[in-house]
Amino acid sequence: MNPPIRNLDLHMLECFDMLMREKNVSRAAERLGLSQSSTSETLGRLRDRLGDPLLVRSREGMAPTPRAEELLPGVRAAIEQLRSLLASEQEFDPLKARQRFNFCASDYAQWLVLPELGKRLQVRAPGMGIDVMVVNILRVEQALEDGELDLALAFYPSPPPALRCMPLVQDGYSAVVRSGHPALGQALDAASFAQLQHVRVAPSG
């Protein structure tokens, strides 16, 4: 029989969630903005109150126990419900906000958006911060679902219904050729363009 769950608060649930993401106490503590000792202490309390080791040492770091894997979906759902409840009771004031948000964006999107975004944050939300990583379009959906990302700036032609999306900017493509290239000055159709030699750039590998 599982022991009764008692005295679990939002902080402990968030700590459990981050430990499950990072599989490492030091990295989890850094992302939570806590000390390593505080995070280790919270993990100890979670183990005691849930009656399970939750995370055990392995060659790759810390591995979740079956009980931890079983608890994780419910814990994440509870965190979201609590956050929504608390957010609905408080009016958001960007001047007082102290959150950090995780973005991913292509190098072009970063160049296009981040300078202006940085200026606006300094004026309208000086206590907020953003961490930006290069987009991996193959993982965007899962990273957003898992809470690793708060926002993705990317070309996403067929987003799944679970993602809330909005167009940010419309742009086109240009062909770049060497000086004196035979195609200069011509109106190329698709067939002619396809016959040319190309340098292919694949940011996602």
Look at the block and give the residue holding tokens 């499950």.
20
pLDDT band of residue 3 (cuts 50, 70, 90) is very low
Is the separation of the CB atoms in 117 and 105 below 8 Å?
A: no
pLDDT band of residue 122 (cuts 50, 70, 90) is very high
Tell me the pLDDT tens digit for each residue of 180-200. 998 888 888 889 889 899 988
- Is a pLDDT exceeding 50 seen at residue 81? yes
Strands, E assignment, the chain: 55-58, 61-64, 100-105, 129-134, 151-153
Per-chain mean pLDDT for the chain: 83
Strands, E assignment, 66-181: 100-105, 129-134, 151-153
For the beta carbon of residue 10, count every other beta carbon within 10 angstroms: 13
Of 30-44, 85-99, 117-131, the one with minimum mean pLDDT is: 85-99
Tell me the pLDDT tens digit for each residue of 144-164. 777 788 888 887 777 776 678
Tell me the pLDDT tens digit for each residue of 31-65. 887 888 888 989 998 998 888 999 998 887 789 99
Q: Indicate the DSSP class of residue 43.
A: H
- Report pLDDT for 125: 93
Pick 174 or 157 by higher pLDDT.
174
- Report pLDDT for 203: 63
- Report pLDDT for 138: 65
- What mean pLDDT is predicted for residues 104-133? 90
| pLDDT > 70 fraction of the chain, expressed in percent and rounded | 90
Strand, helix or coil at 152?
strand
pLDDT band of residue 205 (cuts 50, 70, 90) is low
- Is a pLDDT exceeding 60 seen at residue 4? no
